[in-house]
Amino acid sequence: MTKTNRLNAICPYFAMFPLEFPMKMIDDFGGSCILDPFCGRGTTNVAARLNGAFTVGVDSSSVAYSISESKMVSADPDRIVSECANILENKNPEDIPEGEFWTMMYDRKTLKEICAVRESLLDDCSSPERIALRGIVMGALHGPLKIDGSSSYLSNQFPRTFASKPDYSVRFWKSKRLLVPPKISLIDIVKQRAERYYSERLSNPGGFILKEDSTDKATFSKIEALMEGRKFDLVVTSPPYIGMNTYIPDQWIRNWFVGGPPYVDYGCKGQIRARESKFIEDVRKVWANCEEVCENGAIIAVRFGNIGSYDSDPIEVIKKTFDNTSWIDIEVTDAGAPKKGRRQSDTFSANTKGYNEIDVVSVLSS
């Protein structure tokens, strides 16, 4: 990993495109004001920042929003650590989840520290240091143990990119005799990670992230008001892959950390869901909303695909989402077959039928 994209790795997300995609789109089409209406973990926004462009991201998931925000700030590593130390010294958490899952997932003291930071950040997450701290702790919440049983994560043995369901996890730990979670000091983890992700001073050309529903016109009125007359010249994005509707349940522990319940939330409020005709209608609304905040001649670049268990042609689906919009000259190309694990559909299921991902480029003629 080159030095300049370290911050992009602050916290995994279950579906993300590689940084190379938005970097290439910016290279090919230019862009000084760049929007992603489905920003996920903020990959487009990082690419924009690295290219000195103003950037806005929108995502209806609190997890995605919080990760993306942590990539927009500049914060001094020592100040992030002292903010964390200050919280741990002063905050006595009121709400510590209980039950077999939580006792096996985190050491008691580690969980208390996580809860102290969680509650304090839920009260106030306005400074760059606090926004950075939230991203750091989210990234450290779960991951694998090292062979010697130590860990650079806060949890017992657990996947890094997504959160297994509680019952499955408990059965797994019992079967592997991983009954006692490691004793991890939260401040030590924050020290290592603050240094890793924030010691490099990236320039900050400006922008913001919104936690909103992009199908909603009001979201774009809000963007317009905050943009003070500026318009976007490039949109780089990736809507939910057709058939994929578990962005929030698959991140349920990170979702808890940013204010969700301490159990799997299947509600998925504000998320575009699978069923084809509704999916097309919703994504079309987003492209139409983007028109309102883009300049004439702006380019939209979309990476899209489906998950293997869902039998529909992603090319047909994505083309239909542009019907009756002012986005014209639609060009579809194969996104190729990047290295295993580098395309979004690889992260969803081991049983994908191997649909290629596609890239769609179109221009606004309003």
If the CB atoms of residues 115 and 360 are measured against ligand SAM, the closer one turns out to be 360
| Binding flags for ligand SAM, 154-193, as an x/- string (CB under 6 A) | ----------------------------------------
Residue 205 token pair: 């050309």
| Site for ligand SAM contains 305 (CB under 6 A) | no
Stretch that binds ligand SAM, among 79-87, 108-116, 207-215, 256-264 (CB under 6 A): 207-215
Q: How far apart are CA 308 and CA 349, in angstroms?
A: 8
Least distance to ligand SAM from the beta carbon of 84, Å? 25
| Site for ligand SAM contains 317 (CB under 6 A) | no
If the CB atoms of residues 43 and 120 are measured against ligand SAM, the closer one turns out to be 43
Residue 338 token pair: 């990047």
φ and ψ at residue 34, rounded to 5 degrees: -120, 130
Least distance to ligand SAM from the beta carbon of 195, Å? 24
- Half-sphere exposure (CA, 13 Å, Cβ side) for 56? 25
| Residue from 51, 59, 246, 348 in contact with ligand SAM (CB under 6 A) | 59
Residue 103 token pair: 């006792």
Site for ligand SAM in 111-150 (CB under 6 A): none
| Site for ligand SAM contains 301 (CB under 6 A) | no
In DSSP terms, which residues pair with 57 in a beta bridge? 36, 209
CB 257 within 8 A of CB 186: no
Least distance to ligand SAM from the beta carbon of 270, Å? 5
Stretch that binds ligand SAM, among 54-62, 124-132, 190-198, 292-300 (CB under 6 A): 54-62
Number of residues that bind ligand SAM (CB under 6 A): 25
Question: Other C-beta atoms within 10 Å of 152: how many?
Answer: 14
Stretch that binds ligand SAM, among 12-20, 149-157, 255-263, 333-341 (CB under 6 A): 12-20
Q: How far apart are CA 214 and CA 60, in angstroms?
A: 8
| Binding flags for ligand SAM, 330-359, as an x/- string (CB under 6 A) | --------------x---------------
| Site for ligand SAM contains 40 (CB under 6 A) | yes
CB 308 within 8 A of CB 353: yes
Q: How far apart are CA 34 and CA 32, in angstroms?
A: 6
If the CB atoms of residues 38 and 198 are measured against ligand SAM, the closer one turns out to be 38
Residue 192 token pair: 């290592």
| Residue from 26, 33, 58, 288 in contact with ligand SAM (CB under 6 A) | 58
| Site for ligand SAM contains 38 (CB under 6 A) | yes
CA dihedral of residues 76, 82, 87, 89 (deg, nearest 10): 170
| Residue from 238, 251, 289, 321 in contact with ligand SAM (CB under 6 A) | 238
Residue 353's alpha-carbon distances to 119, 266, 359, in angstroms, are: 43, 26, 19
| Site for ligand SAM contains 308 (CB under 6 A) | no
φ and ψ at residue 106, rounded to 5 degrees: -130, 140
First and final C-alpha spacing in the chain: 40
If the CB atoms of residues 39 and 114 are measured against ligand SAM, the closer one turns out to be 39
Residue 191 token pair: 């020290």
In DSSP terms, which residues pair with 327 in a beta bridge? 364
If the CB atoms of residues 58 and 170 are measured against ligand SAM, the closer one turns out to be 58
If the CB atoms of residues 158 and 279 are measured against ligand SAM, the closer one turns out to be 279
Residue 107 token pair: 């050491």
| Site for ligand SAM contains 61 (CB under 6 A) | yes
| Residue from 16, 105, 115, 299 in contact with ligand SAM (CB under 6 A) | 16
Site for ligand SAM in 246-275 (CB under 6 A): 247, 270-272
Q: How far apart are CA 61 and CA 252, in angstroms?
A: 11
Residue 358 token pair: 């596609």
Residue 84 is classified by DSSP as H
The binding site for ligand SAM (CB under 6 A) comprises 13, 15-17, 38, 40-41, 43, 58-61, 64, 213-215, 238-241, 247, 270-272, 344
